[in-house]
Structure 1
Amino acid sequence: MLDDRKLTVLRAIVEEFVSTNEPVGSKALADRHALGVSSATIRNDMMSLEEEGYLAQPHTSAGRVPTDKGYRLFVDRLSAVKPLSGAERRAIETFLSGAIDLDEIVMRTVRLLSLLTQQVAVVQYPSLTKSSVKHVELVPLAPRRVMMVVITNTGRVEQRVIEVPEEAEESAVDHVRTMLNTAVVGRWLNDVPEAVDQLPAQVEPSERPLLSAVLSVLLETLVERNEEKIVLGGTANLAADDFSSNLRDLLEALEEHVVLIRLLGEAGDPSMLTVRIGAENPHEGFQTTSIVSAGYGVGDSSLARLGVVGPTRMDYPGTMGAVRAVARYVGQILAQQ
């Protein structure tokens, strides 16, 4: 266990290296940080930190840089996540509150996170497996054509045009719409097939072709759209010295959305903030990165996760504060949908 002085030295080295991207020497620490000890004492502490695996020395004559183990201890011992300023909080709220639907909420969130952190932002759409039906609308377009719109409690909107085998009276469309909403509103999407199973036996023979066509497309839509979907933003932020040696590998890894979703973590407690550093990321393409993520949702229910991917040399307090704040605001906006 490190004593308080060594922890203070490690914290100063991390902050200095994040700021300058240059190996940190004892003299620089003594000059720029009020550590209250001599350069010789700092140098001895740095040697001890290196021996214990918290620091590394890139070159014989160079200063030290934090290792993944050093960053992990720094993050675990953070006394507080950096709070956003009042202006930043108002800007987040204003930027996100103008979104009119889930797609726009997600796109605005990606842009906002990448701007706030200067990293690659990743936002997972609310999973359909964690969504329930809010409303089903049927809109007659022609005598044998109807548009179906399915709206979930998480703001996802699925829209399909249905070809009906026989002409459907407007009254029949109204009746089928009413029956369908009575059966499925408030149901988890996984439970919809069971909820509608007996509906064909409950309508007049003249309405069965319409109902059968609607149910067929509805169930097909739930199967087709039950994928986990994520959106990326700010990949231009990767054009930095930190990734010069493995940029290609990282870009290829970012294209593997299934891997990204796994790295973001399970959508558990919405308030839980997760930080994966370097080799803690099992996928080789992400082992020079850190991933900071948080769940977002409505109330105590987490629907999905969002976060950022950046170098291990990142401003952890600021990044963690931004990710947590944005996740909280997204949840508040979804609650209003």
Structure 2
Amino acid sequence: MVSERGLDVLRAIVQDYVETREPVGSKAIVERHSFGVSAATIRNDMALLEDEELIAAPHTSSGRVPTDKGYRVFVNHLAELRPLTTAQRNAITAFLDGPADLDDLLARTVRALTQLTGQVALVQYPSFERANVTHVELVHLGGTRIIVIVVTDTGRVSQRLATVPDEVDEADVAQLRARVSVLVTGQSVRQGTLRVEQALAKAVNPAGADGAYRELLRVVGEELDEFRQDRLVMAGAANLARTVSDFRGSIYPLLEAIEEQVTLLRLMTEMVADEHGLAASIGRENAPFGLAEASVVASDYEATVGQARVGVLGPTRMDYSSNLAAVRAVAHYLSRLLDEDERAR
């Protein structure tokens, strides 16, 4: 059982180690922090922390550094998050103000977060499976080329070029628009996907108008299916190169996870949030995902179709207080923008 002063000593070791990258000794703690006790007393507290495997000595006769378990205890006992400065809050506003659409907003979100934290920034797309299709538009570019536009009631817009088997004219396009629209407009993304699959199974003739209809259905179905997929937007992978010394092994597993996305999506989804919507997964807790030398901190944000998460990925030696404060602030701002956009519609 760690005493209150022991927790304070652990907090001092974590903060000093994050700041200096150097193992922390009892003398340094006495000099930097106002404990009102001798270095010998602090050494006793450190010995108890070491017995609890919360700190460890990287070298003989050196100071101590936090273990993964120590970081976890530190995060669990954070009395408060370090508040963002006015400049940081202004930076969030500047980055996220006036996005063109959801894709632009989430791209801005990760750029803002990586600037604030110096870590790899991650944001989940909300799942649009329960969103409703409000509009399907076909724009004829001439010949066999048609732009397919699908819009949902959450503001998500998909635009894609389709090439049909035979040339069509404006009258053909108008008929095709009516056939596709009546199939999916007003349906949820999930139900629309099922209706498209059923219609494709019936439209077996590959020639003429049926061929164009089949191709347009295929494109609409793929776009609706894309709406249902979990996706991540990321920024700041280059920051890993600046912190490579914080990893005992290779950073390759992190780079692979960033490239593949599936691992990070699972990790982000499975992290357990506290009552404030904040979550942290630290070091060895990430071993099942192949990321035992990394930490992820995240915050829930609210979208019309449900919750998703925004967070940062980096070494276990990170400033958890500041990073949690940053992801919380960005998540709150993102939720507010999405709510304002929904009210405006």
Q: Structure 1-normalised TM-score?
A: 0.86
Say if 2:111 and 2:236, in contact at 8 Å, map to a contact too.
yes
**CA separation in 2, counterparts of 1:225 and 1:115?**
28
Is 1:135 the counterpart of 2:139? The answer is no
**CA separation in 2, counterparts of 1:151 and 1:169?**
21
**CA separation in 1, counterparts of 2:156 and 2:170?**
30
Q: Partner of 1:317 in structure 2?
A: 321
Q: Partner of 2:258 in structure 1?
A: 254
**CA separation in 1, counterparts of 2:112 and 2:211?**
47
Q: Partner of 1:214 in structure 2?
A: 216
Say if 2:13 and 2:24, in contact at 8 Å, map to a contact too.
yes
* Deviation of the 1:30 alpha carbon: 0.6
The RMSD of aligned alpha carbons is 3.0
SS of residue in 2 equivalent to 1:115 = helix
Q: Partner of 1:233 in structure 2?
A: 235
Which string of whole-angstrom CA distances, capped at 9 and with x for unpartnered residues, describes residues 172-203 of structure 1? 644654565455345331110445657999xx
**CA separation in 1, counterparts of 2:272 and 2:306?**
8
Change (3 A) 1:224 1:116: closer
**CA separation in 1, counterparts of 2:271 and 2:50?**
36
* Deviation of the 1:248 alpha carbon: 3.0
* Deviation of the 1:207 alpha carbon: 7.4
**CA separation in 1, counterparts of 2:99 and 2:297?**
24
Is 1:326 the counterpart of 2:327? The answer is no
Q: Partner of 1:38 in structure 2?
A: 38
**CA separation in 1, counterparts of 2:251 and 2:199?**
55
- Say which is worse superposed, 214-223 or 314-323, in terms of deviation: 214-223
Say if 1:125 and 1:230, in contact at 8 Å, map to a contact too.
yes
Which string of whole-angstrom CA distances, capped at 9 and with x for unpartnered residues, describes residues 243-291 of structure 1? 3642234323332311111111259989622100000003464211110
Change (3 A) 1:257 1:194: closer
Change (3 A) 1:185 1:35: farther
Q: Which amino acid aligns with 1:263?
A: L
Q: Which amino acid aligns with 1:320?
A: L
Q: Partner of 1:161 in structure 2?
A: 162
**CA separation in 1, counterparts of 2:82 and 2:110?**
20
Change (3 A) 1:305 1:251: same
* Deviation of the 1:94 alpha carbon: 2.3
Q: Show structure 1 runs of 5+ residues with no match.
A: none
Matches within 5 A, 1:21-36: 21-36=21-36
Which string of whole-angstrom CA distances, capped at 9 and with x for unpartnered residues, describes residues 88-146 of structure 1? 22321221123212332222222111110001112233334354424221112226543
Number of aligned residue pairs: 331
Matches within 5 A, 1:1-337: 1-129=1-129, 131-142=131-142, 144-152=144-152, 153=154, 155-163=156-164, 165=166, 167-170=168-171, 173-174=173-174, 177=177, 180-181=180-181, 183-195=183-195, 211-223=213-225, 226-238=228-240, 239-240=242-243, 241-243=245-247, 245-266=249-270, 272-283=277-288, 285-298=290-303, 301-302=306-307, 304-335=308-339, 336=341
**CA separation in 2, counterparts of 1:64 and 1:140?**
68
Q: Structure 2-normalised TM-score?
A: 0.84
Q: Which amino acid aligns with 2:219?
A: V
Say if 1:278 and 1:312, in contact at 8 Å, map to a contact too.
yes
Say if 2:144 and 2:166, in contact at 8 Å, map to a contact too.
yes
Q: Which amino acid aligns with 2:189?
A: L
SS of residue in 1 equivalent to 2:287 = coil
**CA separation in 1, counterparts of 2:194 and 2:251?**
48
**CA separation in 1, counterparts of 2:87 and 2:185?**
40
Say if 2:128 and 2:305, in contact at 8 Å, map to a contact too.
no
Which string of whole-angstrom CA distances, capped at 9 and with x for unpartnered residues, describes residues 206-234 of structure 1? 97666444323312443466543323321
Change (3 A) 1:156 1:295: farther
- Say which is worse superposed, 129-138 or 8-17, in terms of deviation: 129-138
Say if 1:131 and 1:154, in contact at 8 Å, map to a contact too.
no
Q: Show structure 2 runs of 5+ residues with no match.
A: none
* Deviation of the 1:294 alpha carbon: 2.4
SS of residue in 1 equivalent to 2:70 = helix
**CA separation in 2, counterparts of 1:271 and 1:100?**
29
Say if 2:232 and 2:261, in contact at 8 Å, map to a contact too.
yes
Change (3 A) 1:312 1:216: closer
- Say which is worse superposed, 158-167 or 172-181, in terms of deviation: 172-181
Change (3 A) 1:156 1:130: farther
- Say which is worse superposed, 273-282 or 74-83, in terms of deviation: 74-83
